[in-house]
Structure 1
Amino acid sequence: MNIEAIQQASQYITDKLSIKPQIGLILGSGLGILADEIDNPTKIKYEDIPGFPVSTVEGHAGQLVIGSLKGMQVLAMQGRFHYYEGYDLQEVTFPVRVMKQLGIETVIVTNAAGAVNPSFEPGNLMLITDHINHTGVDPLFGPNDPTLGVRFPDMTNAYTPALQQLARKAAAKLDLTIQEGVYVWNSGPSYETPAEIRMLQKLGGDAVGMSTVPEVIVARHAGMKVMGISCISNMAAGILDQPLSHEEVIETTERVKEQFLSLVKEIVANLAHQ
């Protein structure tokens, strides 16, 4: 990872801000609506930021939105980058490095995911308690720059336990039932086969998707605190006798957006009072 590129992108963003962001929000498919809740926003297109990739997926606006949310200064990625788009994992995780350079120490990562656990339902929100990297690739492959993090980072608590507790507290206050479980990262872009889903069930997965894990690995490598939330957008292949589509993902996230918005805003408000 080129430290000069990280510094250049960070400086470009800093020059456009009058505030110092405290929390990073990475918003997945159909979940970018949270950025619309940010007060006094500064919006920066990815294509204008030196070194930034450009989001190519429907449902991803492709911009940073920086401003105030529930008493905290936040930087939201309205759309993310995926390995399946053809980007290498250094590019996919570049924004997380830039967040760290900006002084952000806490990241909330969101995604739309398919339910592997048959007790889940489309529209559920799942607090990610752990993950399985099922791709065989890792964003930390290659030379390690010790100024960015240690060569062999510990992933025992990839998702910060104290932040998980904060999310549970927020859900309880809102009288909102949330699921908890293990998120499995597959590279995509094809959805899994029923046989693959049966395998993931045996491996201990509860939800499956095509993002999140690379960003989380890099955030932990950088010493950042991490919370992960999945919107269960569909039942994975073979659980129900129906085809899968990206349109269903967007429809489901639209249906549960109020719950999603309420939960994340309550979590941010709790962080503001810590």
Structure 2
Amino acid sequence: MAIHHFDVGGVHPISRSAHDAQSNNTHYKSPEKHEKAFTPTSPSRVVCLAVRQGRLHNADMTHFDDVMAARDFVRERANLIPEVSLTLGSGLGGLADELTNAIKIPYAEIPHFPVSTAPGHAGALVLGELGHRPVVAFQGRVHYYEGYTPGQVVFPVRVAHALGARVFVITSAAGGLRAEWKAGDLMLHRDFINFTGTNPLIGPNEPRFGERFPGMFDAYDPQLRERVKQLARARDQELRDGVYIGISGPTYASRAELVAYRAWGADAIGMSTVPEVIAARHLGARVIGISTITDLAIPEHHEHAGEQEVIRVAQASAQRLAGLVRDIVATL
């Protein structure tokens, strides 16, 4: 049995957590002596050993203390309790620059916080006001394909909730699976399909985050979705409505995969969002998801869009998305 998402060091080397934990000798212990004393003879024993040593990527659900440490670090620098969390995806981080009374903190300075490496992701947390409403905005996110664990991918969501946010507006760039759509369209998420191959809630449950088996039937808040539709109509702005399928990446989908995704009812595809939605709902938060369709991923005549093209289209549509997000925040 192949064991995927296996991290020998306990924490991916790009994270600051291993260094921080070693420095205070409370969260990290070297697995070397255990590995010498115990030689697994079956796949199940390999998994058990990895879980005990915290080396399976999905075994990091219980990092409550790390979340609190990150929250306290941010609170020491910004005396603001956000009501709304804004996750700003590829090429969409400019909205955070519009916040007033803003405090900007690079991810690299926040204890245990994962650092963005993807193009178009600035990697900074910004606390401020948008239309006189306190918000926390994340300029960029991290992804599974960067080598991060499920817990690290949703770490910003948990920090935002710990800071006070109870409504999450999650934006992203996505490929459209419908031939009648076009690059630059905005899609309001109706539902999601988790095809990432993992889940941020796998592992021992942390009850201070939420219950063991949270429902995802109405992952996107129905009342907020209707409000967003009304706001789009008031702006005379076309807004697609669809299902987002999340994959791990970094490879783009094959032709057969695109055919399958569309047959399953997916309307757009991306490499983010789904784990963040799951984590936010686990916390009991209300969630809205909006994607900028940056290219068409259809099997009939698919043309590969590179990173820079995705960012270019996202930036070209950023003002329309930013205007809609401003209205959403103002009417909460």
TM-score using structure 2 length:
0.80
Deviation at 1:194, TM superposition (A): 1.6
Report the AA paired with residue 247 of structure 2.
N
CA distance 1:172–1:237, shift in 2 (3 Å)? closer
Question: Which residue of 2 is the match for residue 227 of structure 1?
Answer: 288
Establish whether residue 52 from structure 1 lines up as the match of residue 127 from structure 2: no
CA distance 1:240–1:248, shift in 2 (3 Å)? farther
Which residue of 122, 134, 145 corresponds with 2:206?
Answer: 145
Give me the whole-angstrom Cα distance separating, in 1, the residues matched to 2:272 and 2:259: 20
Gaps of 5+ in 1: none
Q: Which has the higher contact order (CA 8 A, sep 6+)?
A: 1
- Post-superposition CA distance 1:208-262 (Å, at most 9, x none): 0000000100000000000000000000153435232111111111221221111
Q: Which runs of structure 1 show a deviation greater than 3 angstroms over 4 or more consecutive aligned residues? A: none
Which residue of 19, 37, 41 corresponds with 2:102?
Answer: 41
Which residue of 243, 267, 272 corresponds with 1:206?
Answer: 267
Q: Is the 8 A contact 1:193 1:237 kept in 2?
A: no
Establish whether residue 11 from structure 1 lines up as the match of residue 72 from structure 2: yes
Q: Secondary structure at the match of 1:15?
A: helix
Which residue of 161, 164, 180 corresponds with 2:225?
Answer: 164
Which residue of 123, 145, 153 corresponds with 1:92?
Answer: 153
Establish whether residue 246 from structure 1 lines up as the match of residue 317 from structure 2: no
Give me the whole-angstrom Cα distance separating, in 2, the residues matched to 1:259 and 1:194: 31
Deviation at 1:18, TM superposition (A): 2.1
Deviation at 1:99, TM superposition (A): 1.2
Deviation at 1:148, TM superposition (A): 1.1
Report the AA paired with residue 246 of structure 2.
W
Establish whether residue 76 from structure 1 lines up as the match of residue 76 from structure 2: no
Question: Which residue of 1 is the match for residue 181 of structure 2?
Answer: 120
Q: Secondary structure at the match of 1:14?
A: helix
Question: Which residue of 1 is the match for residue 128 of structure 2?
Answer: 67
Of residues 50-59 and 247-256 in structure 1, the stretch that sits farther from structure 2 once superposed is 247-256
Q: Is the 8 A contact 1:192 1:237 kept in 2?
A: no
Identity level (%): 45
CA distance 1:255–1:212, shift in 2 (3 Å)? same
Establish whether residue 174 from structure 1 lines up as the match of residue 235 from structure 2: yes
Gaps of 5+ in 2: 1-61
Q: Is the 8 A contact 1:39 1:69 kept in 2?
A: yes
Question: Which residue of 2 is the match for residue 133 of structure 1?
Answer: 194
Report the AA paired with residue 163 of structure 2.
L
